[in-house]
Amino acid sequence: ESIEVVIIGSGPAGLTLANLLQRAGVGCVVLERQSRSYVEQRQRAGVLEHHGARVFEEWGLAGSVLAGTSSDSTLEIRLDGRPRFIDVAALADGRAGRIVPQQVLVVRLIKAFLEGGGDLRFEAAEVTPHGLDGATPTVTYRDADGVVHEIECAYVAGCDGFHGVSRAGVPEGALTTYTYDHGVGWLTVLADAPAPRHPLFGIHPAGFAAQFARGPKASRFYLECAPGDSLDEWGDERIWEQLRLRLGDATLATGPITEKLFVEMRCFVADPMRYGRLFLVGDAAHIITPMGGKGMNLAIADANVLAHGLRAALREGDEGPLAAYSETCLKRVWDHQEFSRWMHEMMHEAGNAAPAGPFRRQLARARLERLFASDAAARAFADLMA
Ligand code: APR
């Protein structure tokens, strides 16, 4: 069989791209290793940036993707238990993010794509791209019945995450890769505990903590911990005790913990986000820590740039936008990496002085105070946060 674009992976990147290509009238098939229910239940990101919401609006997908979601414009930062608020939308000319948990986005994107007649194949094993540096690449895979398929295509979109096959198939030396380790650990806990009023950041000498809504009745918490910590050291009792302390709330409502794991605090960027007829999209090309909530948003932004590029190349015979894909995407990627690192330093070093020392603690506090003292500083922050 033959199709214009093969998309490998159905996370936020692959599903966004699939829907945009469907809207653009470009033929595509999505190959996903996992089952539909596995993909639909995976809980990760929670906030869609203003830009991400605009992407869905511009492609006529607002009704299927954004319906009923609420906007989220105020942040609360508790410094040693004292609450401070930042109205991001007011500082960013009305741009506001929306609360859209990843699994809600994924469920809606799958539904929209299938209703539009989309071809989405779950449980595709041994997905392998071939001939990426030639004119007619192919992708092979084995379906759930063990039958091997080969699909010819014009382009391959590698949307298969950090550990996927797409980037792994690029010859050594073709990509420059950048990595960075923040040098702290983060424990994340999902609990059936009431959502906070606003996204909440706690800065405290005992370490950083945060709480974000995942629907009205669930919260995702983050706790700074030592890089080598094990889950045995973080019993439920200690988690709640540390959250109460760091968030400065002795009456913090608790609830059953449904997930407990350590977050990868590594950053990674591949440059260019392309090899021949393969385009890397989302986590396949770059990963970022959760600070600032940019991972899912970068994936959606990449998918939008690629959809425009593929439409121009395949429908208008204009290869220009596709040729600029990597450069266009990497500009946003590095802006967000820089913002995330900036915020990470401020949120950690203003509280726990142990890793960076007292001098940097004072610097981080100056950076934080400036957000409340200077409109220009607050607007610069909101510009990247919104
Ligand atoms: N073959 C087919 N599919 C694969 C393969 C493979 N070899 N390897 C991985 N996949 C699938 C995964 O099962 C997953 O569904 O690719 C998908 C990749 O999805 P994500 O890892 O979520 O990556 P991406 O879509 O780029 O997500 C971007 O969203 O919530 C955030 O943390 C998330 O930052 C990430 C962002």
In the chain the domains, ranked by start, together with CATH numbers, are 2-71+97-179+266-340 (3.50.50.60), 181-265+353-385 (3.30.9.10)
Going by the DSSP 8-state scheme, the letter that residue 44 receives in this structure is -
Tell me, what's the ipTM? 0.98
Q: Which of 59, 44, 125 lies closest to 297 in space, CA to CA?
A: 44
Ligand 1 nearest-atom number relative to CA 13: 25
β-strand 71-72 against 119-121: which pairing, if any?
unpaired
Cis upstream peptide for 355 (omega within 30°): no
CB distance 14 to ligand 1 below 6 Å: yes
Instruction: Tell me which residue of 9, 290, 5, 42 sits closest to 161, measured CA to CA.
Output: 9
Residues in CB range of 8: below 8 A, 6 or more apart: 14, 31, 127, 129, 139, 156, 157, 158, 159, 160, 164, 165, 166
> Is the Cβ atom of 166 under 6 angstroms away from ligand 1?
no
pLDDT tens-digit readout, 180-235? 998 999 999 999 999 999 999 999 999 999 999 887 789 999 999 999 999 999 99
pLDDT for the residue numbered 264: 87
Q: Residue 243 and residue 221: Cα distance in Å, rounded?
A: 8
Scored b (16 or more CB within 10 A) or e, 191-217 reads bebbbbebbbbbbbeebbbbbbbbeee
User: Which residue owns the Cα nearest ligand 1 atom 23?
Assistant: 161
Question: In whole numbers, what is the pLDDT of the chain averaged over residues?
Answer: 95
Residue 76 near residue 85 (C-beta atoms within 8 A): yes
Tens of pLDDT, residue by residue over 38-88, are 999 988 888 999 999 999 999 999 999 999 998 878 999 999 889 999 999
* pLDDT, average across residues 356-371: 95
pLDDT band at 334 (very low <50, low <70, confident <90, very high): very high
pLDDT in tens, 238-281: 999 999 999 999 999 999 999 999 998 999 999 999 999 999 99
Residues of the chain with pLDDT > 90: what percent? 92
Out of 29, 30, 33, 110, mutate this one to test ligand 1's pocket (max ligand atoms within 8 Å of CB): namely: 33
Give me ligand 1 centre to Cα 103, in Å: 13
